[in-house]
């Protein structure tokens, strides 16, 4: 049995706590490795090392840090297939999907190659008599990232890229379910020239998370996961005087207007609803066709597409559209929610329960499921299922459909499919959701914009990657400078304008 390690001071370090958790193979249901769970004392040692390393790294000029990012990006690209294999082995997603996971993280590293431009301050010449005013952005020091199982490469890269490029040291706590990708990325960062200690990977559970949140040296925490945990981490971090950006759950709706191209809308729902077994915070889990005729035609198109989907282990290659869910507990929860939908009166058009794959009978597989006639009061509508289940909520009018999105407690992503520009503009303007797609089902912005939801999908006022990330991982210092050449002025006790 393989025993995994932490990454401390530029090398793999075995755990000393004596506490371990199992890393499963979701396709077989078997244990594939043991992961050490760090103690607060082990975390303290990693933070002390990071603090020492950050002093040198933070004093390194931004252009040299950007060169490390450039080399890091090149190494990620050169090793993308190896990284995707690690992601698929622990998560279960298909290799093409895993490569996309790595690629979307790499795009943030590419933006970090332009760090010097992101960190430029402002300057005003002669703000007053002989007075210059300027600002500078400086690193926070030691920061932390706590990342989820469903994107083992992308989200750690979203966190570490801007944090490291800005001159910080980072403590990365990856998910216990998919930990190996973080170590692989740390090794590539070291090869790219990142000094030892600037990036530490500390594995653990709630004990080490709480230690991160309480540690006085850590200045900021970034988190992605479920809403209850996001809210908990945000509150505890803020209470300890730390910056925090915490991203939680979602219930993403896609409106389908009567004038939409229904074949394109159906294809979009298949990809956005069932890709990665629905284990995406930006998955479309609710289809909202407007009008009964639109709903009937959409369901008619969805059924044959769903029935053609192939589910299996990533090792089956191109014969698989999506793989297992992450744990047996997830599988059981998804099946229970499907059962509740039936009990509460929804029409189960396609039932994905009970799927067994020859040779992988103990894997955590869920077939694709489709519901029709779902209503707001049903559990399958109210809860984030995080599985391959698409719910159809029929709306009589556009306003009815829009109200579903506006009234929902989550606000991560949403989409509308329509041929009418006025409707699309109205939707984008009025909907209270952070990321909006128009004829685009998963509106994850490109890396030079920024990613973030609204309402109970996000806690904190700055988003992930893009300009917001550099603001989050730096603090602004403003300097008012005066030189007395030729100026004669006596003492003044008055608070007055510079000019």
CB 372 within 8 A of CB 389: no
- Name the 3-class secondary structure at 126: strand
CB 436 within 8 A of CB 284: no
Q: Where are the beta strands (DSSP E) in 174-311?
A: 199-201, 218-224, 243-247, 252-256, 284-289
CA dist 11 → 81, 163, 188, 199 (Å): 23, 20, 12, 11
CA 427 to chain centre: 25
- State both tokens at 44: 């303290």
By CB atoms closer than 10 A (0-12, 13-18, 19+), residue 319 is: exposed
Nearest to 436 by CA among 462, 402, 409, 486: 402
Other C-beta atoms closer than 10 Å to the C-beta of 397 total 10
C-alpha 291/C-alpha 439 separation (Å) is 18
C-alpha 478/C-alpha 210 separation (Å) is 34
C-alpha 14/C-alpha 390 separation (Å) is 43
- State both tokens at 106: 């790499």
CA dist 143 → 140, 196, 310 (Å): 7, 16, 42
* Catalytic residue list contains 281: yes
- The active-site residue, picked from 112, 246, 281, 366, is 281
Nearest to 240 by CA among 210, 276, 264, 216: 216
- Name the 3-class secondary structure at 250: coil
Task: To the nearest 10°, report the CA torsion of 32, 33, 34, 35.
Answer: -120
Angle between the N-to-C axes of helices 227-239 and 206-214, in degrees from 0 to 180, rounded to the nearest 10: 30
> Which secondary structure element, helix H or strand E, spans residue 477, and what is its range?
strand 474-482
What is the bridge-based pairing of β-strands 474-482 and 131-139?
antiparallel
Backbone angles phi, psi at 287, to 5 degrees: -95, 135
User: Considering all CA atoms of the chain, what is the largest pairwise distance in Å, rounded to the nearest integer?
Assistant: 90
C-alpha 8/C-alpha 15 separation (Å) is 11
> Which secondary structure element, helix H or strand E, spans residue 433, and what is its range?
none
* Catalytic positions, written as ranges: 281
């Amino acid at each position: 049995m393989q025993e995994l390690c932490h990454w401390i001071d530029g090398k793999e370090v075995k755990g000393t706590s004596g506490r371990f958790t199992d890393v499963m193979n979701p396709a077989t249901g078997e244990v594939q490795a043991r992961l050490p769970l760090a103690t607060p004392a082990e975390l303290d040692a990693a933070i002390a090392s990071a603090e020492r390393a950050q002093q040198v790294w933070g004093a390194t000029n931004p252009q040299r840090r950007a060169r490390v990012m450039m080399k890091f990006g090149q190494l990620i690209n050169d090793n993308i297939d190896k990284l995707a294999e690690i992601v698929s082995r622990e998560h279960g997603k298909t290799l093409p999907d895993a490569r996309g996971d790595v690629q979307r993280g790499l795009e943030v590293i590419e933006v970090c190659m332009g760090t010097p431009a992101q960190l430029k301050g402002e300057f005003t010449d002669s703000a007053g008599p002989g007075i210059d005013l300027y600002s500078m952005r400086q690193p926070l020091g030691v920061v932390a990232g706590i990342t989820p199982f469903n994107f083992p490469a992308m989200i750690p890269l979203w966190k570490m890229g801007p944090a490291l490029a800005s001159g910080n040291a980072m403590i990365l706590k990856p998910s216990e379910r998919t930990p190996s990708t973080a170590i692989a990325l740390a090794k590539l960062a070291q090869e790219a020239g990142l000094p030892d200690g600037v990036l530490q990977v500390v594995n653990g559970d709630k004990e080490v998370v709480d230690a991160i949140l309480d540690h006085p040296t850590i200045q900021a925490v970034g988190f992605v996961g479920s809403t209850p945990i996001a809210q908990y981490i945000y509150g505890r971090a803020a209470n300890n005087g730390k910056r925090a950006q915490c991203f939680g759950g979602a219930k993403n709706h896609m409106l389908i207007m009567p004038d939409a191209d229904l074949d394109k809308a159906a294809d979009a729902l298949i990809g956005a609803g069932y890709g990665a077994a629905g284990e995406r915070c930006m998955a479309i889990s609710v289809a909202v066709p407007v009008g009964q005729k639109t709903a009937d035609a959409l369901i008619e198109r969805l059924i044959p597409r769903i029935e053609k989907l192939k589910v299996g282990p990533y090792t089956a290659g191109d014969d698989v559209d999506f793989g297992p869910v992450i744990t047996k507990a997830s599988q059981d929860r998804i099946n229970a929610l499907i059962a509740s939908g039936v009990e509460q009166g929804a029409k189960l058009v396609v039932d994905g329960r009970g799927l067994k794959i020859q040779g992988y009978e103990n894997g955590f597989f869920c077939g694709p499921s489709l519901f029709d006639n779902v209503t707001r009061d049903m559990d399958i509508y109210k809860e984030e299922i995080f599985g391959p289940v698409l719910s159809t909520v029929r709306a009589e009018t556009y306003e009815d459909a829009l109200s579903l999105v506006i009234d929902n407690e989550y606000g991560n992503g949403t989409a509308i499919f329509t041929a009418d520009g006025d409707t699309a503009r109205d939707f984008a303007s009025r909907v209270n959701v952070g990321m909006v797609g128009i004829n685009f089902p998963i509106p994850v912005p490109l890396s030079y914009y920024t990613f973030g939801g609204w309402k109970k999908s996000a806690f904190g006022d700055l988003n992930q990657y893009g300009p917001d990330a550099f603001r989050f991982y730096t603090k602004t210092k403003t300097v008012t400078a005066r030189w007395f050449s030729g100026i004669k002025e006596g003492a003044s006790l008055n608070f007055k304008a510079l000019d």
